[in-house]
Amino acid sequence: MRIVVTGATGNIGTGVVRALSADPQVEAIVGLARRTAGRPPEKAEYVRADVEADDLVAHFRGADAVVHLAWLFQPTRRPERTWRANVLGSLRVFDAVAAAGVPKLVYSSSVGAYSPREDDEPVTEDWPTHGWPGAAYTREKSYLERYLDAFEHRHPKLDVVRLRPGFVFQRSAATEQRRLFAGPFLPGWLVRPGLIPVVPDIPGLRVQVVHTADLADAVRRVVTRPVRGAFNIATGPVVDPRFVAGLLGARTVPVPAAAVRAAVAAAWRVHAVPASPGLFDAVMHLPVLDTTRAETELDWQPRHDAAATVREFLAGLRVGAGADTAPLAPDRHRLHEISTGVGRRP
Q: Is the confidence at residue 56, as pLDDT, over 60?
A: yes
Between 10-14, 75-79, 153-157, 165-169, the lowest mean confidence (pLDDT) is in 75-79
pLDDT digits (tens, 9 = 90+) for 252-293: 999 999 999 999 999 999 999 999 999 999 999 999 999 999
pLDDT digits (tens, 9 = 90+) for 92-113: 999 999 999 999 999 999 999 9
271-287 burial by CB neighbour count: b if 16+ within 10 A, else e?
Answer: eebbbbbbbbbbbbbbb
Q: What is the predicted pLDDT for the residue at 343?
A: 42
Q: What is the predicted pLDDT for the residue at 191?
A: 72
Residue 289 DSSP one-character state: B
Global pTM value: 0.93
pLDDT digits (tens, 9 = 90+) for 200-229: 999 999 999 999 999 999 999 999 999 999
Q: What is the predicted pLDDT for the residue at 330?
A: 82
% of the chain exceeding 90 in pLDDT? 80
% of the chain exceeding 70 in pLDDT? 93
Residue type, 192: R
Query: CB count, 10 Å around CB of 259?
Result: 11
**Residue-wise DSSP of 222-270:** HHHSS--EEEEE--SS-B-HHHHHHHHT-EEEE--HHHHHHHHHHHHHT
